[in-house]
Amino acid sequence: MQSFNSISKENLAQRKAVHEICRLFNKSPSKGNLKRIKELCSHCGDGVIIEAGFHCDYGSQMHIGDRTFININCTVLDAPINEGAISIGCDCLIGPNVQLLAVSHAVNPTERLNKENFAAPITIGNNVWIGAGVIILAGVTIGDNAVVGAGSVVTKDVAANTAVAGNPAVRIKDI
């Protein structure tokens, strides 16, 4: 994990601008406002659908593959550094109320006083289905064709072609 200062003047200004774009989209999910959301991303593929309620902090390190569907109320806590990247493959289904949290804080209370954030990338492979209410934590990779059951908290990597569920998410079966 790499640290960064989320309350620096530059990062506060960038987050404020991105939050305004998200607010406008969520208030009026028109094609124009959706285009602004997609332009935040380092890459947003063809046929991507993002439903209202979408929120991200920076967007500049987000990569979304072709034909991915992001359902309502998706929260993406990304970072303006490579280690805070969120990569979502092609043909993914992201359920409602999913949280992708590439940013965290120090567990040690003394270190936490510095208000530094820590970031580690989240990588989601192709053709992944993430059920409603799933939380994916920093540093996790989810392999191609995997399924994450609704309400799961994903703290560790998920192998390709497996189904996981629970808190913490554990392998249920191979698919």
Catalytic residue IDs: 105
Strand pairing class (129-130; 93-94)? parallel
**3-state SS record for the chain:** CEEECCCCHHHHHHHHHHHHHHHHHHHCCCHHHHHHHHHHCCEECCCCEECCCCEECCCCCEEECCCCEECCCCEEECCCCHHHCEEECCCCEECCCCEEECEEECCCHHHHCCCCEEECCEEECCCCEECCCCEEECCCEECCCCEECCCCEECCCECCCEEEEECCEEEEEEC
Q: CB–CB of 146/132 below 8 Å?
A: no
